[in-house]
Amino acid sequence: MKKIFYLIPFALMYCCKGEVKTEPIIITSEEIQEIVGYLASDNLKGRNTGTDGIDKSATYIETRFKAYGVKPYFESYRDNFKVDSLNAFNVVGYLEGSDKALKDEVIILGAHYDHIGFQKDIEGDSIANGANDNAAGTSAVIAMAKYFTHKKNNKRSIIFALFSAEEKGLLGSKHLAKRLKEDKLNLYTMVNFEMIGVPFKDRDYEAFLTGYDTSNMAEKINTYVGSNLIGKSDVAVKYQLFKRSDNYPFYLEFKVPCQTISSCDMSNFDYYHHVDDEVDKLDFNFMANLINKTILAIETMSNTPTKEIKITNE
């Protein structure tokens, strides 16, 4: 695939001989494809909880975090818990904010990195690779970890959380949300990424936000990026997608805006929990564009003097 670069508006500014210039910090389509390609490879056998594939996936994420300079939030990157007799683990990284007061306020960027393992055999293939669900969302969080550790200009602190056992009932995010609540984390907002691998063809927005009417997050994101990036999906409302992804346990525990960005509401993707949810079904140019625009929104979100994103409907 031809490498396509998407410049983030208002990238790092610096002065040279009186001139203001920009140093572009970008996430490329090739970079996203590399991450998704590894996580959704046959070698990881569908990344089911308790398997060697999910362990290798966690190690891959940890290696990326270490390379970028993301610190573990706990003693290690792994937030361990049990799913019946199975060992499970979220991968949780941390970037401290630069502002003495605002760094105590935390933004969580999350996605689940597990999938369902195997499905019904179709033409000799039984591995449910989970490229869109949710190696795609995982790639967004990894890319954002790279960006923000490079920029180091976030006044609020950021947690990068990759959840396991989402497919078993949001168990990883339930565990982490409860643990952070018990630790009295000062959560500003949680932005989750789920199935962002394919674009809509008939919408006037690029992605939708679950729980659209619960807060003003969509409005603020669109203001921050200067375009109609985020919209409301009636299909998502019909299927109650707000309650079906890892944002929801954080919403229940903290009662602050916790929502999921997605570009797939089941109307534009035919391979949900299917062995054909493969890398070749995804549009990596679209993904890089969406991720880079969302980075700009998160960057603004992490630096506003006051908390601008608020619950609007309990």
Q: What is the pTM of this model?
A: 0.92
Structure token digits, residue 298: 């998160």
Q: What is the reported pLDDT for 266?
A: 86
- φ/ψ of 79, rounded to 5, equals -105, 100
Q: What is the reported pLDDT for 26?
A: 82
Distance between CA 239 and CA 266 in Å, rounded? 9
Sequence ranges of the domains in the chain? 31-301
Four-residue CA torsion sign, 53, 90, 143, 138: positive
Tens-digit pLDDT profile for residues 252-267: 999 999 999 999 998 9
Q: What is the reported pLDDT for 22?
A: 36
User: Going by C-beta distance under 8 Å and a sequence separation of 6 or more, which residues neighbour residue 67?
Assistant: none
The domain defined by 31-301 carries CATH number 3.40.630.10:
yes
Tens-digit pLDDT profile for residues 22-66: 344 589 999 999 999 999 999 999 999 999 999 999 999 999 999
Q: What is the reported pLDDT for 2?
A: 37
Which residue in 142, 160, 163, 98 sits closest to 302, CA to CA? 98
Four-residue CA torsion sign, 36, 78, 27, 30: negative
- φ/ψ of 56, rounded to 5, equals -65, -35
- φ/ψ of 113, rounded to 5, equals -105, 0
Extract the residue ranges of the chain whose pLDDT is less than 70. 1-25, 313-314
Q: What is the reported pLDDT for 166?
A: 98
Structure token digits, residue 308: 């601008």
